[in-house]
Amino acid sequence: MLELQGVSKTFGELQVLRGIDLHLRQGTVSGLIGPNGSGKTTLVNIITGVYPPDSGRVLLDGKDISRASADQITRLGVSRSFQNVRIFNRMSVLDNVIAALIGHDKAGLTTLLGRAKRTGDPKVTTARQALKTVGLLEQRNLSASELPLPLRRRLEIARALACDPKVLVLDEPAGGMTPAETASISELIRSRIAPGRTCIVIEHKMDLISHVCQHLCVLNHGEKIAEGDPRSVVSQPEVIEAYLGRV
Amino acid sequence: MPNDYLLTVISNIGMISLIALSAYLLLISGEISFGQQAYFGISAYAGAIATTLWGWPLWLALLFGSSLAALAAGFVGLLTLRISGLYFSIATLAFAEMVRLSLFKLTYQIEIDGELIGPNGAEGFGEIRWIFDNDVSVLEYTLLIYGILLLVLFFLVLIERSRLGMIFRMLGQDPLLTRVQGLNPVRYKVTAAILAGFIAGLGGTLYAHSFTYIEPQIFNMMLGVHALAYGLIGGLGTVLGPLIGVAIDIGFLESVRVIQGYRMVVFGGLVALMLIFMPRGIFDEKRVYWLKSIARRWFRA
């Protein structure tokens, strides 16, 4: 499905990622954890084409997408949410999701000049379905800027989900949430988003990770230090040391 | 019958609305252009040359001038792909100044009825006589301007409701987010620039034939600043926003005698106040959305 082979990235003097290998199995949820500055978001940005890797390859279904642009990678079936929520604030909740579906249209002139929201448009139905999945259908006509943070994060998930991606990347889906909100989004991901879908979840909150992930990878200082079953990974001394320091 | 002065003010509102709409199209796509006057000027000169020196009909001159403006806008759009924000604004201003200064050097005159006619550098380009040669009254020409303005408005309303319009607004809010929705921002940035150039061009050719005399100084930075300010005053939530801005400036400020002579002071102050208290204008996206939902509820009831 998605494979990373020896991916490295440097910004100026700082080497952010060193030879990362990662293999995501189809239909599983993989967690990506690591202390702040370990390179998690950079890795996601490389997977989604925001940055190209300096060396190494990213393969999607065996095809090398390392040099593809972010828009091309999205159209190939990789959707994402952001660590710092990014939504179209001056659009309605429903339009935010429709916006994602427009990106997957063929860019012909007639398509471009066609109405964004025709009555009976399958896009509207798909967008409503995605909003229903994340529990935002009632708020569909609100301006996206009016949503509180937990619902904004849900909107990001709905937007990514609407395109029925091959790979769904969730960057800190519970970032900034209270324990109750975290539990709620964790359950949403486990019961409604993840089943049958290949996902990568980046998160600091271990209760969410252990609740939704079947596979876990740990980064520290840009290197992969552990990988495998979440329970066994979190008990490894290197992982404990990376998070808590030498004890 | 309205008098000629009133008609001139009304037709001026119409023509300036076109350049305001062109700046608006770029504003909703997230780019602040200080250079739309360049396309207005290119088309004014090209259109006037086409009718006056080459004897083309006005409709063809309009198409020619506006297409040339659109081409130039597309070229600048391509050159400025990698820059945005303040850098883009400065680049557009630099291009516009380059065009204006080039017009000072442009001399292309042909002898017509024993008289040299055509652009002559700083002396400008007079005798753009299409309106007189074709016996077009001020009223008829004003109606022509408003016919074209209505067509442009209709086109822009269609664009606003289309996928393309939605993409422009997405780009205007977050280019990276737009990109990760599977859209190539470069393509749509250039499309917006070309469309905006064409619309400014329509205004330019109409302007040259309305005033029958043009000179490089007309297409200076203040025209571009005004074009931008109209959208920012009227609002970026609807295509009618820039027209409201034009009506406030030319229609209201110019016609109220009390503030005549202080118009630019009042206008500048108004822009400053708007930017502080209503940064996206009177009819911004939020207010337009609110008005639309009220209208929907009212129609349902």
Q: How far is A96 from chain B (nearest CA, A)?
A: 9
> Does A30 contact B at CB distance below 8 Å?
no
- Cα separation, B260 vs B275, in Å, equals 23
Q: Which of B174, B181, B289 sits opposite A100 (nearest CB)?
A: B181
> Does A118 contact B at CB distance below 8 Å?
no
Contact across the interface for A90 and B176, Cβ inside 8 Å: no
pLDDT score, position B29: 94
Q: Would you say residue A247 has pLDDT above 60?
A: no
Q: Which of A75, A113, A143 sits opposite B162 (nearest CB)?
A: A113
> Does A48 contact B at CB distance below 8 Å?
yes
pLDDT score, position A66: 94
- Cα separation, B29 vs B165, in Å, equals 9
pLDDT score, position B259: 72
Contact across the interface for B182 and A69, Cβ inside 8 Å: no
Which pLDDT tens digit goes with each residue over B277-301? 998 999 998 889 888 888 888 888 7
Residue in chain B nearest A91 by alpha carbon? B285
Q: How far is CA A125 from CA A54, A92, A129, B167, B178, in A?
A: 41, 15, 6, 20, 21
Q: How far is A189 from chain B (nearest CA, A)?
A: 21
Place of tokens 């200076």: B220
Q: Would you say residue A71 has pLDDT above 80?
A: yes
Q: Which of B166, B187, B285 sits opposite A102 (nearest CB)?
A: B166
3 state SS of B262: coil
Question: Cβ neighbours of residue A39 under 8 Å, at least 6 residues apart?
Answer: A9, A16, A17, A20, A219, A221, A222
Report the relative pairing of strands A223-228 and A63-64 from DSSP bridges: unpaired
- Cα separation, B220 vs B203, in Å, equals 15
Q: Would you say residue A243 has pLDDT above 80?
A: no
Contact across the interface for A70 and B161, Cβ inside 8 Å: no
Q: What is the ipTM of this complex?
A: 0.91
pLDDT band at B266 (very low <50, low <70, confident <90, very high): confident
Choose among B59, B60, B31, B77: nearest CA to B197: B77
Beta bridge partners of A220: A223
Q: How far is B270 from chain A (nearest CA, A)?
A: 24
Provide the residue type at B155 as one letter: F
Q: Would you say residue A53 has pLDDT above 80?
A: yes
For residues B2 and B217, the answer to whether their CB atoms sit within 8 Å is: no
pLDDT band at A245 (very low <50, low <70, confident <90, very high): low
Q: A85 — phi, psi (to 5°)?
A: -50, 130
> Does A156 contact B at CB distance below 8 Å?
no
Residue in chain A nearest B172 by alpha carbon? A88
pLDDT score, position B25: 96
Q: Which of B159, B167, B173 sits opposite A89 (nearest CB)?
A: B173
Which pLDDT tens digit goes with each residue over B40-93? 999 999 999 999 999 999 999 999 999 999 999 999 999 988 888 899 999 999
Residues of B within 8 A of A102 (CB-CB) are 163, 166-167, 181, 183
For residues A41 and A35, the answer to whether their CB atoms sit within 8 Å is: no
Residues of A within 8 A of B187 (CB-CB) are 107
- Cα separation, B268 vs B273, in Å, equals 9
Sheet with A78-80, edge to edge strand ranges: A78-80, A167-171, A198-202, A29-33, A215-220, A223-228
Which residue ranges make up each domain of chain A?
2-244
> Of A102, A105, A109, A147, which to mutate for an interface test with B (greatest number of B Cβ within 10 Å)?
A102
Q: Would you say residue A1 has pLDDT above 90?
A: no
Q: Would you say residue A25 has pLDDT above 90?
A: no
Query: Which residues of B lie inside 8 Å of A (Cβ-Cβ)?
Result: 158-159, 161-167, 169-170, 173-174, 176-185, 187, 285-286, 289, 293
The helix/strand count (H/E) of chain A reads as 10, 10
Residues of B within 8 A of A95 (CB-CB) are 166
Q: Which of B164, B174, B181 sits opposite A113 (nearest CB)?
A: B164
Q: Which of B162, B164, B173 sits opposite A88 (nearest CB)?
A: B173
Q: How far is B201 from chain A (nearest CA, A)?
A: 22
Contact across the interface for A86 and B179, Cβ inside 8 Å: no
CATH architecture for the domain at A2-244 = 3-Layer(aba) Sandwich (3.40)
